[in-house]
Amino acid sequence: MSANDISIISMKPRLGRRGMFIAAAVLCITAAIALDTTVVTIGSEQDTRTAGFSPDAYGAKEFPRIRKDVDSRAVDAPTLAAALAKDKTAAGKKYGTGGAIPVLPVKLTGRVGEGKSGIYDVAVDGVENVRIRVQTGPAINGTDLRDAPGDIAFGEFKNQIEYQDAGAGINRAMKSDVLEGFDNTALTGKTISVTGVFKLINPKMWLITPVEVQVQ
């Protein structure tokens, strides 16, 4: 046996021990990473903090209280129409929230007329010279639900995009809670009860975003 053979044989145990040390170190590092890892559920508060602003998580959190607020303040359509006809500004201040274009809560029961793209005219007894329409999806437009409680301010959000996305998230939450499974393909001629809100752009043209809908 040569000197080189002896040297190679004597190195093998040292290489084995070194490999074991490396393997042990890798296992320790892997365990440390596992202990420091948090599983985050999509849509949870942790997900919102990790990934940034989540419109859908925000909407799911805010819509229930918005619906409760609108329910508690909703005015019968004939009463509201009469108040608007008498003094639009005074009625807006009395019943609505917001500044120059207040959002008004209303409740009504009426007969459904013609519709297009899920927006239906509704004829309500005791309301004259006012066109009342209700949007039932699939598209729910506007930020009326976001603005209805009067306490969701632009300053709460990073920028205008987040502020707009918050309104869209609330609309989607409403669709999920109120309009999921709702058949709006054959409403014409039926009687419908609605609680919702609309922006006071024109006192004789109401486009209502619902928080509750019932077909009788």
Mean pLDDT in consecutive groups of 10 residues from the start of the chain, 216 residues: 48 55 60 53 50 92 98 98 96 93 97 95 96 96 97 94 97 96 91 97 97 94
What pLDDT is attached to residue 59?
97
What pLDDT is attached to residue 123?
98
Whole-model pTM: value is 0.76
Q: Give CATH superfamily name and number for 62-215.
A: Envelope glycoprotein gp160, DUF2291, alpha/beta domain (2.40.50.420)
What pLDDT is attached to residue 48?
45
Q: How far is CA 137 from the centre of its chain?
A: 14
Domain boundaries, the chain: 62-215
C-alpha distances in Å from residue 75, one per residue of 36, 42, 96, 125, 179? 54, 38, 10, 15, 22
Helix, strand or coil, per DSSP, at residue 42: coil
What pLDDT is attached to residue 194?
98
